[in-house]
Structure 1
Amino acid sequence: MEVICLQDEAFYALVEQVVARLKEKSGQEKEKWISDEEAMQLLNIKSKTTLQKLRDEGKIRFSQPQKKIIVYDRDSLNAYLEQNARNTF
């Protein structure tokens, strides 16, 4: 068996490179802003009206770069889900 010794800085730099490459390969680098279809899928809702209600009530963040284009903040949707999660007994 061969033992390889690395300095702390070199080891952590290597780990960061490996993590970055794994994210790149697996596609885990997700977009911050997602479409209404993706938002509905993430929230597990089927109605655009429900999505609009959440938006109008200020429960989720959105951006409207053009008149008919609305995109949703993925972090806001995840926070909304976490806020409404119920703990088990």
Structure 2
Amino acid sequence: MQVVCLQEEAFYALFKKVIEHVESKRQDKPEKWIDGEEAMSILRIKSTTTLQRLRDEGKIRFSQPQKKIILYDRDSIIAYIEKHARETF
């Protein structure tokens, strides 16, 4: 077994690089494109008609890679919610 001695400054620099590497490899980043069910969950709506209206009026971005598959841009949904947020007094 080999023992390696490091100065405190070098140890923390190495530790910081390891943390940066691990965070860059994390897989729990939210998906950019989500399905209608998740979009309705984020918007706190229960009606697919309301979701369609938001899509048709151009209030949220969407993509339709196939005829029956519609995906929604998570960032545009968050932006829509932020746009309609009211400031407190």
- Normalised by the size of structure 2, how large is the TM-score? 0.79
Give the number of the structure whose alpha-carbon radius of gyration is greater: 2
Count of aligned residue pairs for this structure pair: 83
Cα separation, 1, equivalents of 2:88 and 2:18: 40
Structure 1 residue 11, shift from structure 2 partner? 6.2
Task: Identify unmatched segments of 5+ residues in structure 2.
Answer: 1-6
Name which of 20, 25, 28 aligns with 1:16: 20
Cα separation, 2, equivalents of 1:45 and 1:51: 8
Root-mean-square deviation (Å) = 2.2
Residue in 2 that maps onto 1:75? 75
Cα separation, 2, equivalents of 1:79 and 1:88: 19
* Identity between Structure 1 and Structure 2 (%): 59
Cα distance per residue 1:30-72 (max 9 Å; x no partner): 1110000000000000000000000000000000000011000
Cα separation, 2, equivalents of 1:58 and 1:6: 52
The aligned amino acid for 1:63 is S
- Normalised by the size of structure 1, how large is the TM-score? 0.79
Q: Which aligned runs of 4 or more in structure 1 are off by greater than 6 angstroms? A: none
Structure 1 residue 18, shift from structure 2 partner? 4.2
1:6 is aligned to 2:13: no
Tell me which moved more, 5-14 or 44-53: 5-14
1:45 is aligned to 2:45: yes
